[in-house]
Structure 1
Amino acid sequence: MPTSAALTAVASRLKAASTHIANEFVRQYVSAADSADRQAPMETFETAVRIVGHCAVALTGERFDDDVHIGRGARVALQGKSVAEAVEWLRSLERVITDHLLADPSIGRDEVRSALAAIAELFDELCTHELESFSTTYGELSSWHSRVGTDLLSCLVAGPPMDASTVNNHARVLNINPHQPFRAVAACHEPLPSPQQWARVRRRFLEVLGRHDPRREALIRDRNGLLLALVPTNREGPGIVELLTRMLEDDLGRSLFVSSGEPGESLAASGHSCRQALSALEIGMYRGQRGQVTKCTDVILEVLLAHNRWVSRRIIDTRIGALTEKPHLLDTLRAYIACDMALQRTAEELVVHPNTVAYRLRQIATLTGRDMRRIADIGDLGVALMAYDAVEMRRDQEEGRTDLRARLFG
């Protein structure tokens, strides 16, 4: 084992060579991007000299006169760089110091071994501090970005037109290009999942978004069991709707409702897509359309009826008002339309005799004044059923069962 005097001599030689070591480190490891900034090489040099001094002190067993925290980890996080860059430069400097000690013929083998062990311990401590600095700053930055993104998404969903410059300024803060088309997609898990279940589902959903949008420019808001995302559409490969449809082909399809809105030409113009996606999701949930993507264009009439209660009630009153107190007739009409007006298929769907279906259809014709064999009359009654479902869905919302916007942003 080397004596303390021998290690003190190594420390003195290391401190005397601090300028040389720092210059070598700057020459080898300052990146082209850093060297473009005139301050970067000088700052890196001064930091390296300081750390070499700490290494010399570590060899003597004395305590440091100043704080060993460098704080570069926080800067790396603020610059949006990877966590590896928070410590990679430290490990590079450690290698330069190690190479210098190994190349010095005046230092014995035992002294080198002990010196390298002490220096490795110091650099482990420095790396730990830098990782903690990175993690703390990254967490705070992520939380702040999340709040900005949530506020922006909330304003877009709310409805009133937003000034494009305001949206664009928020998007630049989030490193998002606002001058590209965006489409909203929404998902809801029923029954309400546990936090652990939702974490797994959310992770799967975000993996799909990541495959579609590797630049990570999507705006996302989620609460337990419910998610809304505004996703760029000008990406190569399969579209987001196609990817989500594939995702639903496995076990997720048994519990997940998914919907999409129409694309907006820019971020500022995509609020309507968010509202469409949420409305389509409500309709898909009311219909029980699990395991598929309910597109707004597929339920556009229901969306219009759901958002115009007066029109819906007038259609109901003038078409099927006499049936609303007779649920069995409404069910028969719904099944008859779904079965393409085929009497036998309708009877099988309802599990009744065909004569029962025929009797009920005569009752419906009498009460509504419609001919159950005419396509135009059946189409009119079909629209009335859509209006009836829209009103029922809104009643559910008023009772707090499917108020999706309140669940997301309340």
Structure 2
Amino acid sequence: MSITNSTNVTVKNVTAKECWGDGFYVGKRGGSNINNENITFEQVHAEHNRRQGMSITHGKHIKIHHSVFKDTDGTDPRAGIDIEPNKNEQVSDVVVTHNTFIGNRTGFVAMNHLHGGTTSVKNITFEYNKVQDNHVGVSYIGVEGGKIRHNTIYQKHDMPKDYPFHHQYGIELRNGVRPVSGITVDDNSIYGGNIIDRYTKGNTITNNHFKSAVYLHGTAQPGKILTAEVYDGDYGTLRVHKSVQVPSKSVSYRWYADGAEIKGAHESTYKLTEAERGKKITVKVAFTDAAGHSESATSDATMPVGYKNHAPTNITLSPRIIYGNEDHAEVGLLKAIDPDYKDRFTYTVSDSRFEINGDMLRLKKGQRIDYSKVNSFNLTVTATDQMGASYTKTFTVYVRAPRGTPYL
């Protein structure tokens, strides 16, 4: 759904799903003097759109409330909502309240980081939202004036430590083309994440609550080892993007099978036995954090121990397009489809020029595709789950003209 050069518009109870680009778009079409103003989105649902759940590139007095932005993935920025004006355009007075952002690469971002001139992002309010299982929670870049308050943020920690999207902050303030300034960050509850203020000035960060979170890694099969990782924002540093993982020596652990405590299981790891077969495992942790607060948390439950493993049934690759003549160019994101809940996968690719980092398929450094000679090519990818079951699929990848090439 696209809204351009419009005033006094309300969008209610509309779903945008599986779109190639943005689920919802608010912007300005050239040649018109009408500005977007007084636009309201209420109870809309954006799910698994490729680029954004919603993009706002122009307008003022925009309200978004009681809506859901979910599973945006495919090509950058991959945000639930992205407020990002085009050159010499402005976005101001946006209020985003009582929404849910879940499973996106970035939950919510407002930024002025590319264009100078009269481009601006001003007075962005983000309040009473739930932000869960996004790799980046909330990010303000070059925003002038606004609030981030009363939100609940659950940070995601399921990617390799060196993966480019393995961020451990729930909220970020960063300067863009203009300094980020006049932002109040107050009374947010952040589970397993931190607030990163990248040396900005004129902002107020106060009364935020860093809560612990514990995550289980491993395969729920007898003889396999489960590992508990604990995160708490009080182990971070305000101005440094660093790990907020709590040292295991500081934590007490209690492991449970279907809610019954496992005797003698008090370490950060636990080796599963036949006694746990058919039962779901959780771990409870307790510790005193770096700020002197008493913290406790319980993990999500595993699959039943000894569950019947199923091989992946499909692999998707989005967008399957690569820029020609570009070193280290990205092809797209891989996703394995598997009947087993929360199964994790490793990927391999048939062509030695390529690599897979986490779930991103890309050329290795020093490699590029010659646009003058290659229009498309095939790659074969194999996804292997934690039990060794695999699925293989061949994709056709299309080569796009190098960035900056003028269109005829």
Same fold (TM over 0.5): no
Structure showing the higher strand proportion among its residues = 2
- Pair member with larger Rg: 1
Task: Specify the TM-score bucket, using the shorter chain as the normaliser.
Answer: under 0.3
Higher RCO structure, 1 or 2 (CA under 8 Å, sep 6+): 1
Q: Report the TM-score when normalising by structure 1.
A: 0.21
